[in-house]
Amino acid sequence: MNATPLPIDLQRAAKLAILVSALGYFVDIYDMVIFSVVRTASLEAIGVPAAERMSVGVRLLNMQMVGMLAGGILWGVLGDRRGRLSVLFGSIFLYSAANFANAFVQTVEQYALLRVLAGIGLAGELGAGITLVSELMSKEHRGYGTTLVATNGVMGAIAAALVGSRLDWRTAYLIGGCMGFALLCLRLTVHEPRLFTALKEQAVSRGNFLRLLKPGPSARRYVSVVLVGVPIWFVIGVLITFAPEFGKALGMKEVPQVAHAVLVGNVGTVLGDVGSGLFSQFTRSRKKSVALFLVLGALGTAALFTVGSGSLWAFYLCCGVLGFSAGYMAVLVTIAAEQFGTNLRATAATTVPNFIRGSTVLLTSGLQLATPTLGLKGAALCVGGLALLVAFVALRGIDETFGRDLDFVER
């Protein structure tokens, strides 16, 4: 059966939403990843001793992730109560201002405060964009739209790796802030989807975050989606972010550079986002696509700690494979948007990726606790293995949502 074509005005609205959301996610990911790229140079510049740079880097990364946890709830609730566009405007303004200000930090305390504010701002972009695109596109084709958003967005990580490795770290932060402010002008052309505007006329509770956690089917679905995504951030927030430290732990004579690891890893993620999105459309199953990429993540992790130490080329190749395996975020956030009704959709789609990103706090804390006993390599294998095992189990608690009509509410 052929899909019913969209009306011309709706086609235009969907294309515009894809463009704006994709560019927004590009800036979002750039501003998120740039800290990982310039971490060493920036901490050295503000006087952090070499022996303390990993611990301080973990602290600052955790501060950013705590901000994203808080911001995910804030923007998610606002997205269902005030509208999807309010999140797109507010979040990009906050993270652009915070990252612009990062260029002028002089102390670790200033850095930490701005990473919290940046994290709060960064929390709103992906969920709001995926929700907007999902509600504007047909149920048969929305997977293509969300794939385009994620693919273009992850290009921001590649841009961050290139800019951060070639320019002064303060300049890299300024570029991110300026790109965000420029994007605000383009957002003025986007309109709210019909599903949300029609919802305002209904006597139904909107944006109730606690409803997602109420014991029962909703909580099962919500928590399951979050747990399935944790391996993504184990790859990005642990293995790739701390590539130099893992290179040393593996006994490599030439230590990997974080900028190169981020670049190669995110090239892989771009390809993974395309692959996971197209695979879900081809198989007409979101869950099969996610399961395949979890298997690839397990294989990539094993490869990094076995053959990855052979040479820099082998290590970076493993980073590329791991990045590819982490390229199912768009499919997962689309699943989150499709799991819940219009009155909770933005809350779910916005909080899910940020709880996934926020899991970095638990992952890095577990890594630090286990390292004295198991060593960095053993600790990473234990933490990553547990994250993958839990994700495989949690995948069983998610409903298959491919082709689901999104015109419904949670009562």
Whole-angstrom Cα distance, residue 273 to residue 270? 5
pLDDT(204) > 60: yes
* pLDDT grade for 188, boundaries at 50, 70 and 90: low
Structure tokens at 57: 């880097």
The whole-number average pLDDT for the span 35-58 is 88
Lowest mean pLDDT among 7-21, 109-123, 294-308: 7-21
Is residue 22 within 8 Å of residue 152, measured between CB atoms? yes
Spans of all domains in the chain: 10-191+211-397
Q: Which pLDDT band, with edges at 50, 70 and 90, does 4 fall under?
A: very low
Q: What is the mean pLDDT of residues 166-178?
A: 93
Q: What is the mean pLDDT of residues 218-237?
A: 94
Rounded Cα distance between 361 and 61, Å, is 8
Task: Name the pTM for this structure.
Answer: 0.82
312, 318 in Cβ contact below 8 A? no
Residue showing tokens 């990252």: 99
CATH of domain 10-191+211-397: 1.20.1250.20
- What radius of gyration do the chain's Cα atoms show? 20
pLDDT reading at 194 higher than 60: yes
The mean pLDDT of 111-122, rounded to a whole number, is 93
| Average pLDDT of the chain, as a whole number | 87
